[in-house]
Amino acid sequence: MKEANFQTEFKAKNKICGVFELKLAKGTSLSFSSIKEHQKQALLDISSDTGLYHKIADAPFFEDPKKRMRFTKPKPFDSFLLKDIQAYIVVMFYTPRKKKNVIYIDIERFIRMEEETTRKSFTEEMAINYSAFSFNYLQVAGKTNQRAE
């Protein structure tokens, strides 16, 4: 499994509204450095009244062999401003054919977890302790575990 596969599965199964930075952990832990500083700052801005403004780049075009212009999928709109929206680091702890535990950690809790440990990485247990929600993607449909505080 790759992070792109997680992205596809997340799109189909996620029922939580918010902004997400997805990470895939194939081992027993995930490095804090896998979430870049600019990503943490953007999520913090989105979750506060500071907000984050982003202009969506214009879709590129290219010429096809028949000399017609073609465009990629059109963008839905020009830009957006997001503020006071829930922002999460979402980590899937994955073991092939055994485990797909998806843990949502609110960005503020994630920062606190990073500050409260001397470790350079976090384990699944640590993530669960700081999580807002967790789901097991391998469970039978309709029987997904959910943890909320």
pLDDT digits (tens, 9 = 90+) for 11-59: 999 999 999 999 999 999 999 999 999 999 999 999 999 999 999 987 6
141 occurs within a structural domain: no
Q: How far apart are the C-alpha atoms of 20 and 7, rounded to whole Å?
A: 10
Q: Which domain holds residue 43?
A: 3-50+85-136
**Looking at 15-19, 66-70, 83-87, 89-93, which range is the least confident one?**
66-70
148 occurs within a structural domain: no
72 occurs within a structural domain: no
8 Å CB contact between 93 and 99: yes
* Sequence-separated (6 or more) residues with CB below 8 Å from residue 54: 79, 80, 81, 82
pLDDT of residue 9: 94
149 occurs within a structural domain: no
Domains in the chain, number = 1
- pLDDT tens-digit readout, 97-128: 889 999 999 999 999 999 999 999 999 999 99
23 occurs within a structural domain: yes
> What is the identity of the amino acid at 77?
F
78 occurs within a structural domain: no
Which band of pLDDT confidence, cut at 50, 70 and 90, is reported for residue 80? very high
124 occurs within a structural domain: yes
46 occurs within a structural domain: yes
- Residue 31: CATH number of its domain: 3.40.1350.10
Which band of pLDDT confidence, cut at 50, 70 and 90, is reported for residue 147? low
pTM flag (> 0.85): no
The string of DSSP codes covering the chain is --HHHHHHHHHHH----SEEEEEEE-SSEEEGGGS-HHHHHHHHHHTSSS-EEEEPPPPPEEE-TTS-EEE-SPPS-SEEEE-S--EEEEEEEEETTTEEEEEEEEHHHHHHHHHT-S-SEEEHHHHHHH-SEEEETTSPTT-------
pLDDT of residue 76: 86
